Structure 1
Amino acid sequence: MTIVDTLIIELRREISRGAWQVGDRIPPESQLAETLGVSRLSIREAVRVLIHAGLLTARQGDGTYVTATDEGQVALRRHLGRAETADILDVRRGLDIVAARLAATMRTEEDLDKLREAMERRAAAGRAADLDAFTDADVDFHLYIAEASHNWLLGDLYRNMSDALWETVKANQCMDDAGDDPFHTALFEAVLAGDPIAATAAALSILDDYTDGEA
């Protein structure tokens, strides 16, 4: 095994154990070389391999950032990037039903605060006709529902679908009724009330309305 192979394994380990979170900038080459006792050239080659694998992204003049914690996430995101909108919605339907049901029984006060904040941002962006901000808030709301399930696998799957969901929400331009949206309000109120049946029904209503081009 070469020095570069060893470095690739070590850097992968640091990423997977959470030493650097997704979105974090990793230390510069000089610092990594000094810490690991190797040449900057070896560090550069190992980082290049991880960039190609999709775990890291280099930003010109700004450094190198973590974009995923394992290649499985990268593969899923690439598949989703090539998927048809209808296929993404079918998968989302299954995830949203389970997430809503579990969130209604497992949510905490912190989860409810995050949901309220996302709904407020969503409504404000709709009133301002800010499509990007609206899309961010809409995706965040549904991600927070998944996280409120406190099922780590479900939350992880939803996070990995976020980019694809963002594109479908934005493409659908579904913010005409953002200031007066009974479906998202119903889902929040069902989760607040701890009613899994109502939460599941509300989640389905959102998706049905979405596929009609209105959600």
Structure 2
Amino acid sequence: MPSPIQKRSLVDIALEQIRIRIDEGTWPLGKRLPPEPELAETLGMSRNTVREAVRVLTFSGVLEVRQGDGTYVRACANPLDTMLVLARSSVEQALEARGIIEVEASRLAAQRRSEADILALRAALEASAVRHGGALDDYIEHDLIFHQRVVDSAHNPVLSELYRYFSQVIRAGLERTIGDPGRPQPSFELHRELLDAIERGDADAAASANRALLI
């Protein structure tokens, strides 16, 4: 019996298309990539998808974003092998890795968050709450935004970039866990408990609420 074909994300496809053009010499080492709108049109993808692919390639060292100048090809290291390893991880493995990042980030966020962080967290949570129980893709998109805001509130750029790099695996894991009627689901109110703990600066409660969300 043939094995099922694994659905590839649009970001994976964008990564591959950019890599092919680098390997073929369209954008050689040191070359500046086209501006984002032109790059999106060239690849036939949305600007959001292209932006995320560029972010991944920048984090992996293939591209370099020069503020006010553009995005340049920096190296020819291939991040696709890493992406494939992440994509093949089990739900349990992804949850373990997510917990390592998120739980500690929640603790740090409670200690370091600013008033601007709290406002951003509130807005992201309300956007997620409106979509809870609705279309799965839309809810997951906004749930990830909320959790990214939590990680960003730790004010550790390494944690923030790691989480962004890992976000596609988290998305796939959420699709499998939230979409599984036989799997117990955490209460959405845990998100509010997490935000409340961060807002009042209770690091232990924030870590506990985030841990409870990762079932």
What's the TM-score once normalised by structure 2's chain length? 0.65
Q: Which amino acid aligns with 1:171?
A: R
- Cα distance in structure 1, aligned partners of 2:144 and 2:137: 11
Q: Would you say 1:125 and 2:125 are equivalent positions?
A: no
| Counterpart amino acid of residue 88 in structure 1 | A
Which residue number in structure 1 is paired with residue 194 of structure 2? 187
Q: Distance in 1 between matches of 2:117 and 2:83?
A: 26
- Judged with a 3 Å threshold, the aligned counterparts in structure 2 of structure 1 residues 134 and 9 are, in CA distance, closer, same or farther, namely same
User: Partner amino acid for 2:169?
Assistant: A
**In structure 1, what is the Cα distance between the partners aligned to 2:179 and 2:199?**
24
Q: Is the 8 A contact 1:26 1:65 kept in 2?
A: no
Q: Could you tell me which residue of structure 1 aligns to residue 99 of structure 2?
A: 93
What is the 5 A alignment of 1:43-192?
59-60=43-44, 65=50, 67=53, 68-69=57-58, 70-71=61-62, 74-127=80-133, 129-173=134-178, 181-192=188-199
Q: How far is the alpha carbon of 1:95 from its aligned partner?
A: 0.7
Sort the Cα spacing of 1:61 and 1:111 in 2 relative to 1 into closer, same or farther, 3 A: closer
Question: For 1:183-206, what per-residue CA distance to the aligned partner results, in whole angstroms no more than 9, with x for missing partners?
Answer: 111100011111111111111111
The structure-2 alpha-carbon separation of the partners of 1:104 and 1:138, relative to structure 1 and needing over 3 Å to count, comes to same
Q: CA RMSD in A?
A: 3.4
* Higher fraction of helix: 1
Change (3 A) 1:174 1:137: farther
Q: Quick one: distance in 2 between partners of 1:75 and 1:100? A: 30
Q: Which runs of 5+ in 2 are unaligned?
A: 1-23, 63-76
**Counterpart residue type for residue 43 of structure 2:** R
**Native 8 Å contact 1:187 1:202 kept in 2:** yes
Aligned to 2:7: none
Quick one: distance in 1 between partners of 2:102 and 2:46?
37
Note closer, same or farther for the CA distance 1:65–1:91 as it changes in structure 2 (3 Å cut). Answer: closer
Structure 2: distance between partners of 1:25 and 1:60? 12
Unpaired runs of at least 5, structure 1: 29-55
Normalized against structure 1, the TM-score is what?
Answer: 0.65
Determine helix, strand or coil for the equivalent of 1:8.
coil
